[in-house]
Amino acid sequence: MGQMRIMGIEGDNKMTWDPEKLVETKAVKKHFENHVNNPDKKKRFMAFYVDKEGKQGKKMDVFDPKAGMIILVPPIAGG
């Protein structure tokens, strides 16, 4: 089972899907695309995935249904 966590005002919104089921995968992919490829750069999220072994975060630009846990992070800015 894949898992995508989209950070939000009320905490992260969790989406799960079965990679074998195309409909579920397409729905999650649509959410991924909407956030990561948002036409407005100021609203564009960054996507990371965390492998279960090392739990090291890795950046991803294209949706991978077989990634362990995808985390969508809102725009980061310097202070």
Partner 1 sequence: MASFVHSNINPGLFGKIFRLECPVDRVSFFREFDMMRDIYRVDLNRMFNNQKMKLECPKMAITPGVNSFRSTTSSTSNSTVHADTMSQTVSATWTTWVRDQYIYYYDVETRYEQNRVHAVWSVWTDDATRALYEGVADEITDGLRVSTEQMGQAFERVAAAGVSAGRAMQNLGDAVRRGQEHRIAEVDRITKMAEKRNAAEAKAKDLLLDIIGKDELVVYEETGRVFVKGRKHDYIVQREGFIQQIDKGKIQDLCASINKNKYPLTDNVVAMKLLIESDEDQFLEIANKQGSRKYDELPKAACM
Q: How far is CA 73 from CA 5, 6, 18, 20, in A?
A: 9, 7, 22, 26
Does 75 bind partner 1 (CB under 8 A)? Our answer is yes
Give the nearer residue to partner 1 in terms of CB position, either 23 or 61: 61
Torsion of CA 60, 65, 32, 24, to 10 degrees: 180
* Binding region for partner 1 (CB under 8 A) out of 5-13, 19-27, 31-39: 5-13
Does 11 bind partner 1 (CB under 8 A)? Our answer is yes
**Which residues are at the interface with partner 1 (CB under 8 A)?**
5, 7-12, 46, 48, 50, 55-59, 69, 71, 73-79
